[in-house]
Structure 1
Amino acid sequence: LSCGDVATQMASCINYLRGAGPLPAACCNGVKNLKNSATTTQDRRTACKCLISASKTISGVNFGLAAGLPAKCGVSIPYKISPSTNCDQVN
């Protein structure tokens, strides 16, 4: 799993995460695909780090929307998408 993979899966979420549009089905599909492809602890940590890094570099991200995204898509992930998340503690 690479940050490129994460970015590809999450690209359709950007407008939603900026509060600039509805939650597209493609975004939730990306969230689900990302969860399904992160099968090991290392994959989950990588995905976490990539998500946090990307969320800091994309201007205008609403972290409340980001944190709630997995639940809105019906997916449970073992960490919160937040700048304060310590991805090294993800299992």
Structure 2
Amino acid sequence: MKQYFSILGLFLLSLQLFQSSEADIGCSDVLKDLTPCVSYLTTSSGSPSTACCNGVTTLASATSSTADRRAACSCIMNVVSKVKPNIEAAKALPGSCNITLPFTVSPNLDCSKID
């Protein structure tokens, strides 16, 4: 539970650091959608919860423009760099939820190159 609050705090910090004026999506949206996935991403055991998959699906639907995809990516990568979740679980999350995202989370992802 302590780790959950640490991750939540980092997500909240991301709100202030990476909001884009061009994007309709903000880090608060990303936080809301991905919070149910914290347990899966940090323990990488079992399957993601229904709430987690619903959040990933909502996030994928909300990132319809390049600016939205880049803003969401920046929020995610900021947290990934600080929290260090299981990268394989992060990469597998969209497929585990039967959706496709326009980018794959990896330590070297350059969000500015996402179309």
TM-score for the superposition, normalised by structure 1: 0.91
- For 1:19, give the aligned amino acid: T
Aligned mate of 1:9, from 9, 15, 33: 33
Q: Which residue pairs with 2:76 in the alignment?
A: 51
Aligned mate of 1:32, from 52, 57, 65: 57
1:18 is paired with a residue whose SS is helix
Q: d(CA) in 1 for partners of 2:113 and 2:44?
A: 32
Q: What is the CA-CA distance between 1:58 and the residue it aligns to?
A: 2.5
Question: Rg: which structure is higher?
Answer: 2
Specify every segment of 5 or more residues in structure 2 that has no aligned partner in the other structure, as ranges.
Answer: 1-24
Q: Matched residues, percent identical?
A: 32
- For 1:90, give the aligned amino acid: I
- Which runs of structure 1 show a deviation greater than 6 angstroms over 4 or more consecutive aligned residues? none
TM-score for the superposition, normalised by structure 2: 0.73
Q: d(CA) in 1 for partners of 2:83 and 2:33?
A: 15
Higher relative contact order (CA 8 A, sep 6+): 1
Q: d(CA) in 1 for partners of 2:97 and 2:81?
A: 21
**Residue 76 in 1 paired to residue 76 in 2?**
no
Specify every segment of 5 or more residues in structure 1 that has no aligned partner in the other structure, as ranges.
Answer: none
How many residues are paired up? Answer: 90
Q: Which residue pairs with 1:62 in the alignment?
A: 86
Q: d(CA) in 2 for partners of 1:11 and 1:47?
A: 14
